[in-house]
């Protein structure tokens, strides 16, 4: 209560304050028949008794007529509640404040929605009136917890481990590869700045500059269009270190998260388990596995290779051909026919992958189109390989390894959602399962042109020391020194050891990625001036905090987020700019015909 004119906050009052005169400021949460009201501030709620005697008639009139969500000042005496009227659900439930004087500081007009967490409101309405939505208990909690976590991270990095907090530029130039960047016009004709998608180049240049340990709570920008749970501007905990290896970065991040982890969420165990990219893909069908539940992908190639099943034999005849399956526990009991059809349709539409189901009946036998091609021994081997119990449902896929794994990985998550919707608890909502995924490929074939390669992480990632020679002979086989941090099936961080040799960096850009290295001439030149070996990582702060507080969307942990189309519904941004304001930037807007007509009308 320093620097302000209140004596106490509403939420801090307790029985120890009985008899004291207090001055409180807050919003009227609720008012009942001119008898009492509930006053709210950032710290909690307190019941205010409205005086009924003639001497305080003006106070009664003021407080009885003030609309809900009006801002008031109340001075009064803290009193114990009458016996039997205590409210154990309120931290201040043993006491009340008997109002002596009051002032309405600002009256509230009719609200677009009630400010209560349990009242359902459309997200568009919440975004339009974000300043009202921010008054809700949940958003207040989320933003305050986020602030505490960031403060603890600063302490750990700066005070305990000698990191330097450096702000890097927001106006920069286009970077090859990666996500699309926002362009900012300049007054030089045809020249544009770019908003950086991360401070990647700057943090590497800080290592060349000898800063040794850098961190920043960095604003980053990506022009990714409408992605449901992405934001065009977001925040990273950005970190870079010199003279470090992969294990060093991992230990730092484990310590950082342990130190900044909120007490009320329990403790987290370190070191975090680690898994290679190939293991993650083979067992979970994704590079960000949710390890809170089983249902791993099982390889049935050996079991079925002697069978007469034609589609299995076709699949196994290819170099990367495989037969794999997931076993859904009690799937027959919990999943309906329409659920099974939707799972098969999902695999077909998203991955062009056919799925065959196998069910274990109550008598122990198998029901499937497969069984007529399998003898009893092969059926028994199948049951054993999958550890199938009665009423288990198996989804089986055959084809190219990556496609099969990706399809089954997606079905694993979809079927977990369906099982949980039917009442089976698979994933403990209070559990936090961290995991390192390592040994990613350095390059991947481009989706639009598989003959060309692109960086799996970014073009500055160093090859795995054992694979350096392959970089020049067979780059598709090179593993990288790239590591991702995964929490409950969500990527919350990613980093790598960087290339610190100018020749190797130029080779990757020009020969492997076929990029114009001139755009990065400043970085390539810097690497020639005694650049130290270095590496780093960036943690996605919005995603991390949203998982900690179990928020359904990252928009619930950002004070003023954009809609999923990238719009600010409160301030109506982006907005039109008059032609005369565009002139200094040498820009003219070419309107589509229908928009021209709309603007005329």
Query: For the segment 334-353, what is each residue's pLDDT rounded down to a tens digit?
Result: 999 999 999 999 999 999 99
Query: pLDDT exceeding 90 applies to what percent of the chain?
Result: 89
- Domain 15-106 homologous superfamily, CATH: Nucleic acid-binding proteins (2.40.50.140)
* Mean local confidence (pLDDT), 172-182: 82
Nearest to 334 by CA among 263, 447, 425: 425
Residues whose CB is less than 8 angstroms from the CB of residue 384 and which lie 6 or more positions away in sequence, other chains included: none
Nearest to 253 by CA among 114, 167, 327, 156: 156
- Asked whether the beta carbons of 533 and 497 are under 8 A apart, the reply is yes
CA distance linking residue 396 with residue 392, whole number of Å: 13
- The pLDDT tens digits of the residues spanning 352-411 come to 999 999 999 999 999 998 888 898 999 999 999 999 999 999 999 999 999 999 999 999
Residue whose pair of structure tokens reads 């950086």 in the numeric block: 196
DSSP 262-323: -GGG----SSPPEEEHHHHHHHHSSSS--TTS----EE-HHHHTTS--HHHHHHHTSTTEEE
Q: Where are the beta strands (DSSP E) in 171-212?
A: 183-185, 192-194
pLDDT band at 120 (very low <50, low <70, confident <90, very high): confident
- Asked whether the beta carbons of 401 and 391 are under 8 A apart, the reply is no
Check residue 88 and give its pLDDT.
95
CATH topology of domain 141-275+434-556: BirA Bifunctional Protein; domain 2 (3.30.930)
CA distance linking residue 10 with residue 92, whole number of Å: 8
- The pLDDT tens digits of the residues spanning 453-462 come to 999 999 999 9
Check residue 595 and give its pLDDT.
65
Residue whose pair of structure tokens reads 């997200």 in the numeric block: 123
Q: State the chain's mean pLDDT as an integer.
A: 94
Check residue 224 and give its pLDDT.
81
Check residue 455 and give its pLDDT.
93
- The pLDDT tens digits of the residues spanning 46-90 come to 999 999 999 999 999 999 999 999 999 999 999 999 999 999 999
Nearest to 324 by CA among 395, 376, 387: 395
Residues whose CB is less than 8 angstroms from the CB of residue 587 and which lie 6 or more positions away in sequence, other chains included: 185
CA distance linking residue 422 with residue 334, whole number of Å: 6
* Mean local confidence (pLDDT), 17-29: 97
Check residue 599 and give its pLDDT.
62
pLDDT at 601 over 60: no
CATH entry 3.30.1360.30 includes domain 293-422: yes
* Mean local confidence (pLDDT), 482-495: 97
Core vs surface per residue 369-404: b (16+ CB within 10 A) or e: ebeeebeeebbebbbebbebeebbbbbbbbbebebb
- The pLDDT tens digits of the residues spanning 257-270 come to 999 999 999 999 99
Check residue 228 and give its pLDDT.
66
Q: Which two tokens stand for residue 31?
A: 């008012």
Check residue 418 and give its pLDDT.
96
* Mean local confidence (pLDDT), 510-539: 96
* 542: number of Cβ within 10 Å: 24
Check residue 334 and give its pLDDT.
94
Nearest to 115 by CA among 28, 19, 18, 33: 28
- The pLDDT tens digits of the residues spanning 145-166 come to 999 999 999 999 999 999 999 9
Check residue 263 and give its pLDDT.
96
CA distance linking residue 589 with residue 181, whole number of Å: 20
Q: Could you tell me the residue ranges of all domains in the chain?
A: 15-106, 141-275+434-556, 293-422
Check residue 564 and give its pLDDT.
85
pLDDT at 250 over 80: yes
Phi, psi of 549 (to 5 degrees): -95, 5
Residues whose CB is less than 8 angstroms from the CB of residue 414 and which lie 6 or more positions away in sequence, other chains included: 342, 343, 346
Check residue 591 and give its pLDDT.
83
Burial class (CB in 10 A: 0-12, 13-18, 19+), 48: buried
């Amino acid at each position: 209560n320093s620097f302000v004119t209140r004596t106490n906050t509403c939420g801090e009052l307790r029985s120890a304050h009985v008899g004291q005169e207090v001055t409180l400021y807050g919003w009227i949460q609720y008012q009942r028949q001119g008898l009492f009201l509930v006053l709210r501030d950032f710290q909690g709620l307190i019941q205010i008794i409205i005086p009924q005697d003639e001497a305080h008639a003006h106070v009664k009139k003021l407080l009885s007529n003030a609309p809900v969500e009006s801002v008031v000042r109340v001075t009064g005496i803290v009193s114990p509640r009458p016996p039997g009227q205590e409210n154990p659900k309120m931290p201040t439930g043993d006491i009340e404040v008997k109002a002596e004087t009051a002032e309405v500081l600002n009256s509230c007009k009719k609200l677009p929605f009630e400010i209560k967490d349990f009242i359902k409101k459309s997200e568009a309405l919440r975004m339009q009136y974000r300043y009202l939505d921010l008054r809700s208990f949940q958003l207040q909690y989320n933003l305050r917890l986020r602030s505490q976590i960031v403060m603890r991270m600063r302490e750990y990095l700066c005070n305990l481990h000698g990191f330097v907090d450096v702000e890097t530029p927001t106006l920069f130039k286009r970077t090859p590869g990666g996500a699309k960047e926002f362009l900012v016009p300049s007054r030089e004709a045809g020249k544009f700045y770019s908003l950086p998608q991360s401070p990647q180049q700057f943090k590497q240049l800080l290592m060349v500059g000898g800063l040794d340990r850098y961190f920043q709570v960095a604003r980053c920008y990506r022009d990714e269009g409408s992605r449901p749970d992405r934001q065009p501007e977001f925040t990273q905990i950005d970190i870079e270190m010199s003279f470090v290896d992969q294990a060093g970065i991992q230990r730092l991040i484990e310590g950082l998260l342990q130190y900044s982890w909120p007490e009320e969420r329990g403790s987290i165990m370190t070191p975090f388990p680690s898994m290679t990219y190939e293991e993650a893909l083979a067992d979970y069908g994704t590079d960000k596995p949710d390890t809170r539940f089983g249902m791993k992908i099982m390889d049935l190639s050996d079991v079925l290779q002697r069978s007469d099943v034609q589609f299995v034999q076709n699949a196994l005849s290819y170099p990367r051909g495989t037969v794999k399956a997931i076993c859904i526990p009690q799937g027959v009991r919990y999943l309906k026919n329409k659920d099974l059809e939707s799972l098969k349709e999902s695999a077909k539409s998203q991955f062009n992958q056919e799925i065959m189901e196998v069910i274990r009946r109550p008598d122990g036998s198998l029901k499937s189109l497969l069984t007529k091609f399998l003898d009893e021994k092969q059926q028994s081997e199948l049951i054993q390989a999958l550890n199938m119990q009665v009423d288990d449902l198996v989804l089986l896929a055959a084809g190219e390894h990556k496609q099969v794994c990706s399809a089954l990985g997606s079905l694993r998550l979809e079927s977990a959602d369906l099982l949980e919707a039917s009442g089976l608890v698979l994933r403990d909502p209070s559990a936090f399962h961290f995991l390192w995924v390592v040994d990613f490929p350095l390059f991947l074939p481009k989706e639009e042109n598989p003959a060309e390669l692109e960086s799996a992480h970014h073009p500055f990632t160093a090859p795995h020391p054992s694979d350096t020679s392959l970089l020049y002979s067979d780059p598709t086989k090179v593993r990288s020194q790239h590591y991702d941090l995964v929490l409950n099936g969500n990527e919350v961080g990613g980093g790598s050891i960087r290339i610190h040799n100018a020749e190797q960096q130029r080779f990757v850009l020009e020969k492997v990625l076929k990029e114009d290295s001139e755009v990065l001439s400043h970085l390539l030149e810097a690497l020639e001036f005694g650049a130290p070996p270095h590496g780093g990582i960036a943690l996605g702060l919005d995603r991390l905090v949203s998982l900690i507080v179990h928020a359904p969307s990252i928009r619930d942990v950002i004070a003023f987020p954009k809609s999923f189309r990238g719009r600010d519904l409160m301030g109506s941004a982006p907005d039109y700019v008059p032609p005369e304001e565009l002139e200094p930037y040498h820009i003219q807007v070419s309107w589509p015909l229908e928009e021209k007509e709309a603007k005329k009308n």
